[in-house]
Structure 1
């Protein structure tokens, strides 16, 4: 029988195995959760029981972590325990963890129609490459890493299409307890994120003359061979919003605004899901399809109309 190992020892062996199968960015995200949350609590243990994990969950909730983050940590813990059990280094009994009922609904932050129009009008009148990125995100729902990675060759003005096939992100690399960050250009989040997004008339009109004179291999936001990274662009966007007296909306709110406008315009949900690059339509439905008061009233009226 294999000698029992601590979770910390299993982590080292699991990491060496896992790096053969997953993207560098995924491994980086796993390692950050392991280093920050799992090793300080369970690192020296050779067996982890359900009661200990349940206590850990309540502690993390008290520290202010969201249920989603804690569930992500538990997914990584289960991967480690399964790997340890498979190799007979750890004893692992499956656990069933309970979470308190979430009573508050998260409200999506989106631009109002008037603010969105104001912003898009401003960018059309004050063209810069960085402003253009905001306009593209409002017109396409692209993520910040995707817009930072967009090059001019990804913009097909002949067919009025934007091709999304890569993303830029800064990841944490944990090597032998030494932490550093690294900027990487990689394929997007999931295979569904590789997609083609049609351009509307206004965006095409802005891009056609520019496309004729730029270097195809240059990045759109910098019009240079060197890209800008998401945190730098996020900071630029924040200042732009402040200068325009806009609400303090996170950059991801531009994506939410695009999706919300699509749903408001009665677009079919499957197409919206494909445009956003969601891995499945359920994500789109859960995030964006919530009937407003007017729709609820209409439903009640229709129901009573049928009774008459």
Structure 2
């Protein structure tokens, strides 16, 4: 083995190597995980033990982090250790972490059908470009960054589709220990997120009269060359819900609402997965497909009928 290095030193080399292969926003997320969680605990160590990682896991859960967040931190830690071992800078120690059993599964938050109809009707009666973005989200399931990055050139009236080609996000840049944020435009979350989504008749009615008059290079939400950023748009959306006296729901809940309505309408799961831009169908199944008791009974009855 080469001269042993600390996890802090190996992490710096790993990040430099990783930068060649992943998006800037991903590197930014890794940097935050390192600065906020991994380096304060393990930065000066030259190897890890399973007990140390297990204790760290339980500590983070006690601090109020979700299991998903802690698992994301551990994924980064494991990547650094594997990189260090491959470069012969760290000993390879295999560790497996146990998580406490989650007693309660969080319910997916979605709009009621009545609230969804209320929002969509309000947009029709009170048109603004920002309101149109909410309507587009409820009609396509697009993410907030994708809505902020949508340009008029992405809307095709001939094929009656919306092309999702870019996303806008504000990321943290950590440079020499100093932090600042930067608004960036990049490709969507994954390769599957670059997609075409059909527009329904109602959405087409709203967009058709506008599209012919618009500058193709302008962003839909602002109808200007400069976009709005997700944080600003979230604040606007929050005020809209308050104005309409609709219970508070995260903007991402609009995407969940779209997907839930598709599943409730018995659309096939693979198609819903492709529309949402999920990397694989299991994400869609785990998030949205939860058979109720009536569906379970029908399934068992159907099985017994086949036996007869």
The bucket for the TM-score relative to the shorter chain is: over 0.9
Correspondence list, 1:180-259, <5 A: 180-259=180-259
Q: Distance in 1 between matches of 2:307 and 2:217?
A: 64
Residue 226 of structure 1 aligns to a residue whose secondary structure is coil
Q: Distance in 2 between matches of 1:230 and 1:189?
A: 15
Residue 65 of structure 2 aligns to a residue whose secondary structure is coil
Residue 197 of structure 1 aligns to a residue whose secondary structure is strand
Residue 197 of structure 2 aligns to a residue whose secondary structure is strand
Displacement of 1:178 in angstroms is 1.1
So what's the TM-score if we normalise by structure 1? Answer: 0.97
Q: Which residue of 1 aligns with 2:103?
A: 103
Displacement of 1:299 in angstroms is 3.7
Q: Distance in 2 between matches of 1:300 and 1:205?
A: 44
Q: Which residue of 1 aligns with 2:170?
A: 170
Listed one character per residue, the Cα deviations across residues 243-284 of structure 1 (whole Å, up to 9, x for unaligned) are 000110100000000000000111000000000000000000
Q: Which residue of 2 aligns with 1:78?
A: 78
Q: Which residue of 2 aligns with 1:119?
A: 119
Q: Which residue of 2 aligns with 1:24?
A: 24
Q: Which residue of 2 aligns with 1:294?
A: 294
Displacement of 1:68 in angstroms is 0.7
Q: Distance in 2 between matches of 1:106 and 1:300?
A: 27
Listed one character per residue, the Cα deviations across residues 98-129 of structure 1 (whole Å, up to 9, x for unaligned) are 11112211101011111111110110110000
Listed one character per residue, the Cα deviations across residues 192-242 of structure 1 (whole Å, up to 9, x for unaligned) are 000000000010011001001110000000000000000000000000000
Listed one character per residue, the Cα deviations across residues 11-62 of structure 1 (whole Å, up to 9, x for unaligned) are 2222222111211111111111011000000010001111000000000010
Residue 74 of structure 2 aligns to a residue whose secondary structure is helix
Structure 1 stretches lacking a partner, 5+ long: none
Q: Distance in 2 between matches of 1:306 and 1:284?
A: 29
The runs of at least 4 consecutive aligned structure 1 residues that moved more than 4 Å come to 300-308
Residue 182 of structure 1 aligns to a residue whose secondary structure is strand
Displacement of 1:293 in angstroms is 3.2
Structure 2 stretches lacking a partner, 5+ long: none
**Cα distance 1:243–1:88, how it changes in 2: closer, same or farther (>3 A)?**
same
Q: Which residue of 2 aligns with 1:39?
A: 39
Listed one character per residue, the Cα deviations across residues 167-198 of structure 1 (whole Å, up to 9, x for unaligned) are 00101111111111111100011100000000
Q: Which residue of 1 aligns with 2:263?
A: 263
Q: Distance in 1 between matches of 2:18 and 2:300?
A: 53
Residue 88 of structure 1 aligns to a residue whose secondary structure is coil
Displacement of 1:295 in angstroms is 2.0
Residue 267 of structure 1 aligns to a residue whose secondary structure is coil
Number of residue equivalences: 308
Residue 45 of structure 1 aligns to a residue whose secondary structure is coil
Q: Which residue of 2 aligns with 1:156?
A: 156
Stretch deviating more after TM superposition (16-25 or 55-64):
16-25
